[in-house]
Amino acid sequence: MKNIFKSSLILLCGLVMLTACNDDNDSNPTFQKPTQFVLNKPAMADSYIDLANSEAVTLYCSQPNYGFPCRTIYSVQIASMDDKSDAVDLKGTYDMTKIEVSASTIASTMTSMYMERGKEEADFPMDVPVYLRLKAYAANSAGTKIADSEIYSNWVTLSNVHLLYSLAPVTVPEAMCVAGSFNGNSWDTALDMVQVHDNGNIFWHLVYIDGDGILFNHEHTAGDYVVGYDKITVEGDLAEDIVNNDGKIASNNPGWYLVVITTSVTGRTINYNTQFLPPTVWMIGPITPLGAWSELEEGCEFEVPDGPDGDFVSPPFAASVPGGEGDGVRAYVKIPGFDWWRSEFMVYDGVIAYRGMGPDQNDASSFGYRVPGKAGQRMYFNFTAETGKIE
């Protein structure tokens, strides 16, 4: 009897739930654009807040009324001025009405704001107000923003915030890459530039530059470190070819260039002194007509291809070299002010390997031993595909 009663109760509950769902489906709730979005005044708003000894600032808000419960995405804006004219978005989003804003993020952002207003590191620490508000929008289950759902909250003030200088030192990049029409302007397949041996702040690569132009970056992403025409100082023998195309670094004489970037730091600004040089590749050593180690030997220049996908081709080797632990085939570009071997490279298993900051290219653990060559053979290098061969 007890089991019959429990079964009847479960069946009754199911019928009630089914009826409720049918009623909900019939109601067809309609989206409405909210007119009010309230950010509560934080409990600590009028207290002394030492960001250096705090983990987070906690904010609470009400959910905007979209006419029915839905997923809502929140982000935070911050300002340092009374009129909020310097407001910026903090990184990160939240999907709850309780929001923990990192104290270190507030500190670094506020430090940048005051530096932009003319403050210097010596002016810190300082006690300042911080202005915060939220931005919200409705989203579907995949997190995609629903059109016309964005709304801003009221501003709240943290009136007494102790701000230390909170910016990490600016340093020269450890890597540089370049993208352009030669690779479909893709950062994923951008060419990694090569460091000059023992000079980690200087980068080079052979690049095809056309009227569309190129961009540099510290990383393979369209993030915070994209370097366009406005951030470089144009130098070098072919500097007159280089023009600004809507922020990109373009050429009015499309073709190949040896691009050399010397990076340095002034204050908190990274400088990119960029030389645009003739795209000359050289062979050197026993395979040359003189059989010597003379830089820029006449008759040792490679042929330069017409387009971005062609091969640089060496003259025929004048002599054979055994490779292995003996003499091998050697190639380089000449970086002004540096010996040839600081920018040498060779092909191993069909792929170009650059010496860069690494050891001499006879180190079996890094590259393999010297590459052999026979009299009459040539080197072929494709600097867009980063491939090569000797035949």
Neighbours of 268 (CB within 10 A): 11
- For the segment 174-233, what is each residue's pLDDT rounded down to a tens digit? 999 999 999 999 999 999 999 999 999 999 999 999 999 999 999 999 888 999 999 999
| Share above pLDDT 90 across residues of the chain, in percent, rounded to a whole number | 82
CA dist., res. 150 & res. 119, Å (int): 34
Cis peptide before 125 (omega within 30 of 0): yes
From residue 207, alpha-carbon distances to 172, 210, 259, 351 in Å are 22, 10, 7, 17
Task: State the amino acid at position 387 in one-letter form.
Answer: T
- For the segment 34-93, what is each residue's pLDDT rounded down to a tens digit? 999 999 999 999 999 999 999 999 999 999 999 888 899 999 999 999 999 999 999 999
pLDDT at 367: 65
CATH number of 280-391: 2.60.40.3610
Task: State the amino acid at position 372 in one-letter form.
Answer: P
- For the segment 313-372, what is each residue's pLDDT rounded down to a tens digit? 999 999 999 998 889 999 999 999 999 999 999 999 999 999 999 888 876 556 668 999
- For the segment 220-260, what is each residue's pLDDT rounded down to a tens digit? 998 889 999 999 999 999 999 999 999 999 999 999 999 99
- For the segment 87-111, what is each residue's pLDDT rounded down to a tens digit? 999 999 999 999 999 999 999 999 9
What pTM did the predictor assign? Answer: 0.72
pLDDT at 52: 94
DSSP for 277-316, written as a single string: E---EEEESTTSSS-S--TT-TT-BPBPPSSTTPPEEPPP
Where is average pLDDT lowest: 6-10, 29-33, 186-190, 289-293?
6-10
Between 143 and 367, where is the model more confident? Answer: 143
Do domains 48-163 and 280-391 share one topology? The answer is yes
Q: Which fold has domain 177-277?
A: Immunoglobulin-like (2.60.40)
| Share above pLDDT 70 across residues of the chain, in percent, rounded to a whole number | 91
pLDDT at 14: 38
Residue spans of the domains in the chain: they are 48-163, 177-277, 280-391
CATH architecture under which domain 48-163 falls: Sandwich (2.60)
